[in-house]
Amino acid sequence: MTHSTTTRVHPSAAALESLLKSKGYVLGWPFTLPDRARQADLDLAAAYDCPACGYVGAMQARPWHRPFTRRYVLALCCLSCGCGVEA
């Protein structure tokens, strides 16, 4: 019996941010987002382990939003290996 494993390649933080820019997102929190929601996102980032290198607590939160909409994403960037993850 053989087991197959799938190796997932994670993009770099720079590649993720480039993709977000190409989709019309700009860096920063949407002005309509309450402080408590921002803090919840920052707490999430602080507790997130890097899926690429496994480093604990190395993710930096970088918020991106689409102007004139309510859409935003939180890009988590690993301070250890440079991996980028959308939360």
Concatenating the DSSP letter of every residue in the chain gives ------PPPPPBHHHHHHHHHHTT-EES--TTS-HHHHHHHHHHHHHPBPTTT--BT-EEEEEEE-TTSS-EEEEEEETTT-BEEE-
pLDDT of residue 8: 65
In this structure, is residue 8 part of a structural domain? no
pLDDT of residue 2: 55
In this structure, is residue 1 part of a structural domain? no
Q: What is the pLDDT of residues 28-79, one digit of tens each?
A: 999 989 999 999 999 988 888 999 999 887 789 999 999 988 899 999 999 9
Provide the number of structural domains found in the chain.
1
Asked if residue 5 has pLDDT above 60, the reply is no
pLDDT of residue 81: 92
- For the record, the structure tokens of 41 come out as 């996102």
Asked if residue 1 has pLDDT above 70, the reply is no
In this structure, is residue 64 part of a structural domain? yes
Residues in the chain: 87
In this structure, is residue 3 part of a structural domain? no
In this structure, is residue 57 part of a structural domain? yes
In this structure, is residue 28 part of a structural domain? yes
Q: Which residue has the tokens 């087991």?
A: 3
In this structure, is residue 71 part of a structural domain? yes
In this structure, is residue 2 part of a structural domain? no
Mean pLDDT to the nearest integer, 7-24: 89
